[in-house]
Structure 1
Amino acid sequence: MALPININDLVNGQAIEWERLEFKQGWNPEEIVHTLCAFANDINNWGGGYIIVGIAEKDGRPILPPAGLAPESLDRIQGAVLTLAYQLLPNYFPLIQPYTLQGQHILILWCPAGDNRPYTAPITQGKAAQRYPYIRFGSRSIIAKEDNLRRLQELTARIPFDDRINGKATIDDLDLGLIQAFLQEVKSDLYEESKQIPFADLCLNMKIVNGPKEALRPLNVGLLFFSRNPEKFLERSWIELVIHKDKTGKNFSEKYFKGPLHHQLRAILDYFRNNVIEEVVEKVAHKAEANRHFNFPYEAIEEALSNAVYHKSYEMDKPIEVQLWPDRIEILSFPGPVPPVDAQILKQNKRIVARDYRNRRIGDLLKELHLTEGRGTGFPTIRNAMKENNSPEPVFETDEQSTYFLSVLLAKEQIITAIENIPFNNLEELSHFLNTLSDQASDQAKTSDSKEKEILENLLAKLSDQASNQAVQIIENNLNDKALTILNILDEPKKRVEILENLGLSNHSRNRERYLDPLINLGWIEMTIPDKPTHQDQKYKRTIQGALLHRLVLGLNSDKE
């Protein structure tokens, strides 16, 4: 029966890291049994590995085209593999499959991580040979000693959560359509066979079920990828997206991405691609061509979300939380990274290689779907994408107890002062623009000796009359005819009675609700004593946004006159 992986991708190291591949030109039982043992022990929780017989290697890389095996030797070698499997203690049986690659016969041994670590193998093929536990070290199989031996002993019968049986589900909770769609996408030869073989045999061959044949149960990884509603069996195994309309945190909406894990990831990536990522155009003085970048580079978002899906613990009933702010994206997952990676290591601007992984099977399936890369490439990929986009450096954070992992991608700042025309289509767009502009003014005020008023004037210096006229029209259409007057008279804080008298209105709560409350809700004016709305000394004043709007709509045109 074929293996659930694309063989060309496998041989060329595109779906599996090179450390997990071993190439043998011919049959060498002594070396092969040691590698079988090392992959079964899987000391780093990488997910085992593959032994490919019939392909020579140089420096851990295949020499192609394959040397190949004689067709008449295939049955004999498969029988010899079973003999080696009995030499391991406890006994361990890989999946064996012959293939034809570039016109030559090869044999592939898929060696998933074993459930009964540690495994030992004889050091030689002679009788009464001593036995040792073997592990992978780079692309070699070595005897586990000292610290490595202690680490291996600590893994005794410890199976990562994604590779465990889920007692809440049955094999009927796995969906044949999802399995076949996966096999077809990765171009596995098992796809055609899946149309004919029994469903239980298919699931066994994909290693997504375990147990006695009469009572097979799905593994957690099988439910996460191949059940329609994995959250039924693994609580809150979804992605939550909170979309903040402004920086106050009060105006937001939520979206939930559920279903198979790879469907969740692709759905939220599609959302960002279609609704969030925008091209940023910066007009530079004395230069004909504008600088073109993106507010967020897609590659950085893709890698950060893929890392969260790959590395979170599905044993915890906490979803992946994504917060989308006007100026940043925050991706939070639980718990934090696996030791020895800690808060200090995360701050280092270099490749981070962990010695252990939380989800060995989830990682394999994501790699086969090309939704994540090999080990240690995530942080460099994100940093490089942000750097190439001229975006701020990303932030990676955890606490001392490693209870969470936070990735923060900051937006590419647009040069507002270089924009000559700002079209506003509605009140929401106008408010968003004012929020963005006021944040920039606040940031500049922290690092500048200039007065805030001068900063605001500089930010608005190149706005056109069209922007002013559009802002006036939107306010009059969506609020009332007195909104601009209120902003105009608040050169200094005033009590409600003063404001309403200036408008020719009585000091009645209905007038407050009609004329003042909408401006407070928009963030254009605020109370001087917000905790006590009815305080006798309560006054109202313009916010930074309100000052910007006043300057844009009223002050700019008067200055030109």
Structure 2
Amino acid sequence: MKLCIFVSSVQKEFIEERKAIRDFVHGDALLRHFFEVFLFEDMPASDRRTDNVYLEKAKNCPIYIGLFGNEYGTTDKNGLSSTHKEFSTASKAGNTRFIYIKGNEDKNRHEKIKTLIRLAGNALIRRRFNTTPELLSVVYASLIQYLHDAGKLLTGPFDATICHNASIKDISNDKIKWFLSRSRIARDYALSENTSVKDVLSHLNLIEHNRINHAGILLFGKAPQRFVISSEVKCMHFHGTQKLKPIPSYQIYKGTIFDLVDQAVDFVMSKLNRFVGTRRFGPQAPVEYDIPQEVVSEGIVNAIAHRDYTSNASVEIMLFSDRLEIWNPGTLHPPLTIKKLRKPHSSHPGNPLIAEPLFLTKYIEKAGSGTIDIYENCRKAGIKPPVFRLDSGTFILTIWRKQPQPEAVIVIPTQSPTQSPTQSPDPVVRLLNLLKKQELSSGELRASLGVKHRPTFRKNYLHPALKAGLIKHTIPSKPSSRMQKYRITSKGSFKIKIHEK
């Protein structure tokens, strides 16, 4: 028999959050086996006549989730709102209560909701949140802990289970600092760059009683594959259309999930052909890869983020002469099906604790739009529609390579022994090679690269490198300063090393 979760809040203030909790719990492969969510608005209109209906539910549901915001709600003759009465009923019944407060500022809250928050107390308040993804992440962690404490799980979901023999010493300070910097720029993340490692892990639900879970190790570990060896990513390049030995180019990448995504994308992009068009429509000849980079990135990050980490198999990425195939162990989470991937659908992350930091750094959107974007970007690029399929517990994505137009010039991405580092076909790598020895200004970089057109330089070289955290300003407080220069970061140096292999 499933356990009932009673969601309590001012309905109008939390319409989307209430539905999101219901859909998340009912769609999660593990949680849906243990829980069902009760929402007052899901009841037939004929059953909503009296307070007794929902108060009886609040009493009988063993788990109470309270969402407290700025509004207190409509009051009865005694001056109490429905949310207040539901909380009191659940408390009197001795039910498990999880309280989540929206927003960090209390000055705009109704005085009575402030009183209710004080009544709940620190023991019940699990976390403050600002966005729906943040809320779902902490609800997920709370419910998993509930199942664990109740002895209903022999082992929890992989990303939420404790990583044995791992401690906070196995977490990389540099990775945490990079994450804070990136997430503050990408999503205006609340934590400052001076936040301690432990506080960051706690805020992301990656540590419990000083013990790190698998998500924490995979995202920020110094050596994640020491604990989860199958988390490595295998990248292969074949000259033909079949998987035949010897393999011309074969790399096995290790590192954090962020590292794996970056390295795998770099591998594929470095092997793709580039098409250089004519200057018929302007002074700059258009340059395109035979698979758009955003399609490659989306396919790879989805595979690494949503894979089944309990499997002994690794993500495999294979580039053939006519297509790119991305294989990852796992399946689709109900109610998703292959057919639904082409249509708008809600997000169903296989590893919610992993998905949250990826969302905060804009590696993913957590909006269920990833597969739709792949379809749309392939269409815009004139590529055949991608193919999704399931085969023996493996999810496979096939992306077709674009065939060159008669007037286009194909640039094969190879580097001759005499080619200098700055002549790499990847614009960002060319930029990084110039900065690895000294700091340079925008003008000095354009002159060295031979790029006279400033918008082209910003779009293809500077902005991608800054956004990826590969370079940084020497005067970060004044980005437009005439004295501004740029220096390479440790991540940028690592990218160069990978590219030179």
Q: TM-score, normalised by structure 1?
A: 0.49
Equivalent positions of 1:257-336 (< 5 A) are 257-273=253-269, 275-281=270-276, 293-336=288-331
Determine helix, strand or coil for the equivalent of 1:398: strand
Partner residue of 2:403 out of 413, 422, 435: 413
Equivalent positions of 1:79-118 (< 5 A) are 79-82=118-121, 85=124, 93-96=125-128, 111=139, 112-117=141-146
Deviation at 1:190, TM superposition (A): 2.9
1:418 and 1:246, CA in 2 relative to 1: closer, same or farther beyond 3 A?
Answer: same
The answer to whether the 8 A contact 2:99-2:127 is kept is no
Between Structure 1 and Structure 2, how many residues are aligned?
327
1:378 partner amino acid: G
In the alignment, what sits opposite 2:360? 368
2:157 partner amino acid: P
Query: Which protein is bigger by CA-based radius of gyration?
Result: 1
The answer to whether the 8 A contact 1:116-1:157 is kept is no
The answer to whether the 8 A contact 2:344-2:368 is kept is yes
Are positions 1:221 and 2:215 aligned together? yes
Deviation at 1:247, TM superposition (A): 3.7
Q: Distance in 2 between matches of 1:155 and 1:328?
A: 45
Q: Distance in 2 between matches of 1:23 and 1:75?
A: 9
The answer to whether the 8 A contact 1:294-1:389 is kept is no
1:270 partner amino acid: D
Q: Distance in 2 between matches of 1:228 and 1:294?
A: 34
1:200 and 1:423, CA in 2 relative to 1: closer, same or farther beyond 3 A?
Answer: closer
In the alignment, what sits opposite 2:162? 165
Q: Distance in 2 between matches of 1:206 and 1:329?
A: 34
Deviation at 1:24, TM superposition (A): 3.0
In the alignment, what sits opposite 1:351? 344
Deviation at 1:374, TM superposition (A): 1.9
Equivalent positions of 1:457-536 (< 5 A) are none
In the alignment, what sits opposite 1:68? 108
In the alignment, what sits opposite 1:341? 336
1:83 and 1:253, CA in 2 relative to 1: closer, same or farther beyond 3 A?
Answer: closer
2:202 partner amino acid: L
Q: Distance in 2 between matches of 1:358 and 1:404?
A: 14
Deviation at 1:395, TM superposition (A): 0.8
Deviations 1:176-208 (A, max 9, x none): 33223212321244335525xxx5555334421
In the alignment, what sits opposite 1:52? 102
The answer to whether the 8 A contact 1:54-1:67 is kept is no
Determine helix, strand or coil for the equivalent of 1:338: coil
1:189 and 1:293, CA in 2 relative to 1: closer, same or farther beyond 3 A?
Answer: closer
Q: Distance in 1 between matches of 2:413 and 2:368?
A: 44
Over the matched positions of the two proteins, sequence identity in percent amounts to 18
The answer to whether the 8 A contact 1:281-1:414 is kept is no
1:32 and 1:281, CA in 2 relative to 1: closer, same or farther beyond 3 A?
Answer: farther
Q: Distance in 1 between matches of 2:86 and 2:250?
A: 52
Deviation at 1:337, TM superposition (A): 1.7
The answer to whether the 8 A contact 2:275-2:409 is kept is no
The answer to whether the 8 A contact 1:17-1:374 is kept is no
Q: Distance in 2 between matches of 1:420 and 1:201?
A: 53
Q: Distance in 2 between matches of 1:340 and 1:76?
A: 40
Q: Distance in 2 between matches of 1:293 and 1:426?
A: 18
CA RMSD of aligned residues (A): 4.6
In the alignment, what sits opposite 1:209? 207
Q: Distance in 1 between matches of 2:385 and 2:69?
A: 44
1:291 and 1:204, CA in 2 relative to 1: closer, same or farther beyond 3 A?
Answer: closer
The answer to whether the 8 A contact 2:101-2:127 is kept is no
Q: Distance in 1 between matches of 2:413 and 2:316?
A: 31
Determine helix, strand or coil for the equivalent of 2:236: strand
1:34 and 1:308, CA in 2 relative to 1: closer, same or farther beyond 3 A?
Answer: farther
In the alignment, what sits opposite 1:475? none
Deviations 1:264-284 (A, max 9, x none): 1122223444x1354425679
Which ranges of structure 1 fall in alignment gaps of 5 or more residues?
Answer: 1-15, 36-47, 56-65, 86-92, 100-108, 120-152, 428-561
Q: Distance in 2 between matches of 1:30 and 1:77?
A: 12
Q: Distance in 2 between matches of 1:69 and 1:263?
A: 42
1:81 partner amino acid: A
1:79 partner amino acid: R
Deviation at 1:419, TM superposition (A): 6.2
Deviation at 1:52, TM superposition (A): 1.4
Deviation at 1:300, TM superposition (A): 1.0
Determine helix, strand or coil for the equivalent of 2:263: helix
Q: Distance in 2 between matches of 1:18 and 1:368?
A: 22
Q: Distance in 2 between matches of 1:84 and 1:170?
A: 26
1:414 partner amino acid: P
The answer to whether the 8 A contact 1:116-1:156 is kept is no
Q: Distance in 2 between matches of 1:421 and 1:298?
A: 17
Deviation at 1:226, TM superposition (A): 1.2
Are positions 1:244 and 2:238 aligned together? yes
In the alignment, what sits opposite 2:372? 380
Determine helix, strand or coil for the equivalent of 1:114: helix
Determine helix, strand or coil for the equivalent of 1:191: coil
Q: Distance in 2 between matches of 1:34 and 1:175?
A: 44
1:52 partner amino acid: K
1:423 and 1:166, CA in 2 relative to 1: closer, same or farther beyond 3 A?
Answer: closer
Q: TM-score, normalised by structure 2?
A: 0.54
1:320 and 1:194, CA in 2 relative to 1: closer, same or farther beyond 3 A?
Answer: same
The answer to whether the 8 A contact 1:331-1:406 is kept is yes
Q: Distance in 2 between matches of 1:217 and 1:426?
A: 46
Are positions 1:186 and 2:183 aligned together? yes
Deviations 1:6-59 (A, max 9, x none): xxxxxxxxxx99936978333468548979xxxxxxxxxxxx99641589xxxx
1:230 partner amino acid: P
Deviations 1:402-450 (A, max 9, x none): x0011111011113x55699999999xxxxxxxxxxxxxxxxxxxxxxx
Q: Distance in 2 between matches of 1:244 and 1:335?
A: 25
1:178 and 1:322, CA in 2 relative to 1: closer, same or farther beyond 3 A?
Answer: same
Deviation at 1:301, TM superposition (A): 0.9
Q: Distance in 1 between matches of 2:229 and 2:268?
A: 25
The answer to whether the 8 A contact 1:117-1:158 is kept is no
Q: Distance in 2 between matches of 1:240 and 1:414?
A: 28
Q: Distance in 2 between matches of 1:305 and 1:421?
A: 25
The answer to whether the 8 A contact 1:165-1:220 is kept is yes
Deviations 1:270-306 (A, max 9, x none): 3444x1354425679xx88998753101111111111
Q: Distance in 2 between matches of 1:17 and 1:240?
A: 40
In the alignment, what sits opposite 2:172? 175
